[in-house]
Chains A and B, each alone.
Chain A
Amino acid sequence: MLKIIDMKDTSKINPLENEAIYIMREVAAQFEKPVLLFSGGKDSITLVRLAQKAFYPAKIPFPLMHIDTGHNFPETIEFRDRLVKELGLELIVRNVQDSIDEGKVREESGRYASRNVLQTTTLLDAIEEFKFDACIGGARRDEEKARAKERIFSVRDDFGQWDEKNQRPELFDMLNGNIELGQNVRVFPISNWTELDVWSYIQKEQIEIPSIYFAHTRATFLRDGLIWSADDAVVYRDENEEVEERIVRFRTVGDMSCTAAVLSTASDIVSVVQEIRDSTISERGARIDDKRSEAAMEKRKQQGYF
């Protein structure tokens, strides 16, 4: 049954949520084949809730797509499949392993080997395969300084590339989705949200998220002052890097090979939100993929990364 609530009091309105809903609707209206890029992380889970809100009582009018590196946390994949089933959504999965098998990309080796960069090729191939003209992603401007320069509708050329020095001006809340055939637009509805905004929203909306975001006991090892999951099939580990059980949680969820855990006893959403509020380290401080160089993110974005 529908509940009646009072929205006359504007202090109860979340401007970020209303902006994101507006953006979702612009995507559905301006593009022929949009897709929501879903990683199983908290940001893309938030996107799914926002899309539900934008189109209710109709279903979300576009599919979800997961670029599966094969290095995901098993908890994330389980969660993904359950969410899709519960909401009756269409899910497309494309595997980085297939791109490797087809010889399109080569697996990295050594201590910092990761499939993070490889997934760009799989993503661009999938965009071409399905002729997607808009890809909705959960990137936020507060995450990283190159992302702070990104538009809400960000045009990519035929090669999936980002021309960072020549971006379209975005004025008021008018979003220009006009593109040529072959181009596509990356859309970031939660551009203006901070990490804390996302967590507060998950708390308020009681959105379910994968268990790895909460404190749990895990076999881990230390490297460069960061805590890594000891999963030898996926994460490279030197013999002298000793495995130890620790109580940890993940603050951001990417691949196992590039996402470090943090020591934490925050086992529910209330304590997680409190922890984020008190934190003196940024979210991407635990992402080795950003630490490759000062301009790591900008370079990956130019090549067509999320």
Chain B
Amino acid sequence: MDVLKIATAGSVDDGKSTLIGRLLYDTKSLTTDKLEAIEKKSQQLGYDYLDFSLATDGLVAEREQGITIDVAHIYFSTANKSYIIADTPGHVEYTRNMVTGASTSQAAIVLIDARKGVIEQTNRHFFINNLLRIKTVIVAINKMDLVDFSEEKYNAIKSDFEALMSKRDYQDQNITFIPVSALKGDNVVNKSENTPWYQGETLLQHLEGIDKQDIYNTGTPRFPVQYVVRPKTEDFHDFRGYAGKVYGGELSVGDDIVVLPSQTKSKIKDIHFYDKKIETASRRSSVLITLEDDVNISRGDMIVKENDLPVIDKQFTATISWMDSQNLTPGSKYVVQHGVNKVLAKVDSIHHKINPDYSGIDEGGKSLTMNDIATVSFKLNKPIFYDAFKEHRTNGSFIIIDTQSNNTVGAGFIQ
């Protein structure tokens, strides 16, 4: 079964909710009772259209203010794929929510209002999707009905966006442009007769065609040990299995491995998935591994292939997205959670802030406020085993936890 997670990005009135509603409606994913509830509420509010945001803005405060505050997850499926859409807020101050939504997605839809074209918010949305190395980005140029389905208008926006693409750091991102009208349904699920000049796929056709093998950034296999399974029963008296998820590549029975941090060498004896044994564990599978030798392993250790070691170090420099109302300042201490590993960390220095709209960097930043993105160096109390984010999306990312509030206050991408 294929599951594709998609993050949406667009400004407040670009029609994000309408687009999601249209996708649900045209794929017949909205059940009668939910549709009736939307009809009733829309009518009650005096709208002459169906306000699909009523289906996604799940909190009272959101409905009161008519805005999306927090990420909502919407589910629908077709015959060949299940889709999870993370509907992220469009306001500038919610950069942190966009980073959050994009972090678990393999694809992103960036909406542009055809009347307004590429605006500062578009730059931000694209910057964040590129920073998080989302493999597939679909630029949906929306509200085409309001510009008479003009091909010139579409091409002008497309070339403005392409100018932005030359500035991006992650060049391998697949980018597709689609002219749509979410309100009227043009090129969302069904091909539009209003855009004869557009030969490409509809939004849904494009999503359906994305190959699952393509959406994960591959790297070398990393196996962070989550939990040690020791049944201590008669049948499994001396059994010691290492439970975890395989990231980046495959692991097979017989592979020569190294356990970090001890650097002990061994071989994979068996790989279990529940009551079955398997030859090869693929990427993102949650398995149980046993080794040929008796090695002392605990949570937070990492099993890697012998000739594929990550960086083992007590310091690193990263691009971070700051998410807390309390400022981050040099010298302050936090917990860094890297995968399942938690270590104490000190902010060594803030190098510079990065303007997330491609307008350059700000050298003067001496402390970070909420929604800032910056390059920061950290020192750790013990070594972690990492890769650069651009080489390994999982093993190159971490979250920052406040030692007092226990809140997650930031996310980082190791350089």
- Which A residues are within 8 Å of any B CB, using their own CB? 2-11, 13-19, 21-22, 25-26, 28-29, 52-59, 141-142, 144-149, 164-165, 167-174, 176, 178-180, 191-192, 194, 196-197, 279-282, 285, 294-295, 298
B230-262, CB under 8 A of A: which get 1 and which 0?
A: 111101100101011100001000000000000
Select the residue from B99, B229, B277 with max chain A CB neighbours within 10 A.
B229
* Given A4-B278, A164-B59, A197-B82, 10 extra CB contacts under 8 A: A2-B275, A8-B282, A15-B284, A18-B286, A57-B239, A57-B272, A59-B231, A172-B394, A172-B411, A174-B399
Contacts of A3 in B (CB 8 A): 275-277
Q: Name the contact of B285 in the complex, choosing from A7, A146, A176, A196 (C-beta under 8 A).
A: A7
Given contacts A3-B276, A13-B285, A149-B70, contact A178 B231 (CB under 8 A): no
- Shortest CB-to-CB span from A185 to chain B, Å, is 10
Q: Name the contact of A165 in the complex, choosing from B69, B276, B280 (C-beta under 8 A).
A: B69
- Shortest CB-to-CB span from A8 to chain B, Å, is 4
Which residues in chain B, 57-91, are within 8 Å of chain A measured between CB atoms? 57-61, 63, 69-75, 77, 82, 84
Contact in complex: B286, A21 (CB < 8 Å): yes
Contacts of A194 in B (CB 8 A): 75, 77, 82
Q: How far is the CA of A26 from the CA of B99 in the complex (A)?
A: 23
Contact in complex: A280, B408 (CB < 8 Å): no
Given contacts A53-B274, A171-B99, contact A298 B279 (CB under 8 A): no
Contact in complex: B284, A25 (CB < 8 Å): no
Q: How far is the CA of A236 from the CA of B19 in the complex (A)?
A: 44
A-B contact pairs, 8 of them (CB 8 A): A21-B286, A59-B231, A149-B72, A170-B100, A174-B397, A174-B398, A178-B406, A285-B31
Is B56 close to A, CB under 8 A?
yes
Q: Name the contact of A179 in the complex, choosing from B3, B233, B406 (C-beta under 8 A).
A: B406
Given contacts A7-B273, A172-B397, contact A298 B59 (CB under 8 A): yes
- Shortest CB-to-CB span from B145 to chain A, Å, is 28
Identity of the chain A residue whose Cβ is nearest the Cβ of B406 in the assembled complex: A178
Contact in complex: B73, A171 (CB < 8 Å): no
Contact in complex: A145, B58 (CB < 8 Å): yes
Given contacts A29-B299, A29-B340, contact A52 B285 (CB under 8 A): no
Is B212 close to A, CB under 8 A?
yes
Contact in complex: B72, A8 (CB < 8 Å): no
Which residues in chain B, 1-48, are within 8 Å of chain A measured between CB atoms? 1-3, 31-34, 41
Contact in complex: B212, A10 (CB < 8 Å): yes
- Shortest CB-to-CB span from A69 to chain B, Å, is 25
Contacts of A169 in B (CB 8 A): 96-97, 99-100, 323, 399, 408, 411
Contact in complex: A171, B411 (CB < 8 Å): yes
Contacts of A180 in B (CB 8 A): 406
Closest 5 A/B residue pairs (Cβ): A145-B58, A178-B406, A21-B286, A58-B231, A282-B31
Chain A binding surface, main DSSP class: loop
Is B226 close to A, CB under 8 A?
yes
Total residue contacts A-B, CB cutoff 8 A: 203
Contact in complex: A148, B212 (CB < 8 Å): no
Q: Name the contact of B276 in the complex, choosing from A5, A29, A148, A191 (C-beta under 8 A).
A: A5
Contact in complex: B276, A2 (CB < 8 Å): yes
- Shortest CB-to-CB span from A5 to chain B, Å, is 5
Select the residue from A7, A8, A144 with max chain B CB neighbours within 10 A.
A7
Contact in complex: A174, B337 (CB < 8 Å): yes
Contact in complex: B56, A5 (CB < 8 Å): no
Contact in complex: A10, B243 (CB < 8 Å): no
Contact in complex: A171, B103 (CB < 8 Å): yes
Q: How far is the CA of A164 from the CA of B69 in the complex (A)?
A: 10
Contacts of B241 in A (CB 8 A): 57
Contacts of A5 in B (CB 8 A): 273, 276-278
Q: Name the contact of B58 in the complex, choosing from A8, A55, A148, A168 (C-beta under 8 A).
A: A148
Is B339 close to A, CB under 8 A?
yes
Identity of the chain B residue whose Cβ is nearest the Cβ of A302 in the assembled complex: B60
Contacts of A21 in B (CB 8 A): 286
Is B143 close to A, CB under 8 A?
no
Q: How far is the CA of A7 from the CA of B285 in the complex (A)?
A: 9
Contacts of B408 in A (CB 8 A): 168-171, 176
Q: How far is the CA of A142 from the CA of B82 in the complex (A)?
A: 13
Select the residue from A148, A168, A191, A281 with max chain B CB neighbours within 10 A.
A148
Contacts of B305 in A (CB 8 A): none
Contact in complex: B212, A281 (CB < 8 Å): no
Q: How far is the CA of A17 from the CA of B273 in the complex (A)?
A: 11
Contacts of A178 in B (CB 8 A): 335, 401, 406
Q: How far is the CA of A22 from the CA of B394 in the complex (A)?
A: 14
Contact in complex: B282, A7 (CB < 8 Å): yes
Contacts of A26 in B (CB 8 A): 226, 340
Given contacts A170-B100, A172-B104, A172-B397, contact A22 B73 (CB under 8 A): no
Given contacts A54-B243, A194-B75, contact A149 B339 (CB under 8 A): no
Contact in complex: B399, A176 (CB < 8 Å): yes
Q: How far is the CA of A14 from the CA of B399 in the complex (A)?
A: 26
Contact in complex: A176, B406 (CB < 8 Å): yes
Contact in complex: A25, B243 (CB < 8 Å): yes
Contact in complex: B274, A56 (CB < 8 Å): yes
Is B327 close to A, CB under 8 A?
no
Contacts of B69 in A (CB 8 A): 165
Q: Name the contact of A16 in the complex, choosing from B3, B335, B411 (C-beta under 8 A).
A: B3
- Shortest CB-to-CB span from A57 to chain B, Å, is 5
Is B350 close to A, CB under 8 A?
no
- Shortest CB-to-CB span from A142 to chain B, Å, is 5
Contacts of B77 in A (CB 8 A): 194, 196
Q: How far is the CA of A280 from the CA of B103 in the complex (A)?
A: 33
- Shortest CB-to-CB span from B39 to chain A, Å, is 14
B136-162, CB under 8 A of A: which get 1 and which 0?
A: 000000000000000000000000000
Contacts of A192 in B (CB 8 A): 3, 73, 75, 84
Contacts of B73 in A (CB 8 A): 141-142, 148, 191-192
Identity of the chain B residue whose Cβ is nearest the Cβ of A3 in the assembled complex: B276
Contacts of B337 in A (CB 8 A): 174, 176
Contacts of B279 in A (CB 8 A): 4, 6-8
Contacts of A164 in B (CB 8 A): 59, 61, 70
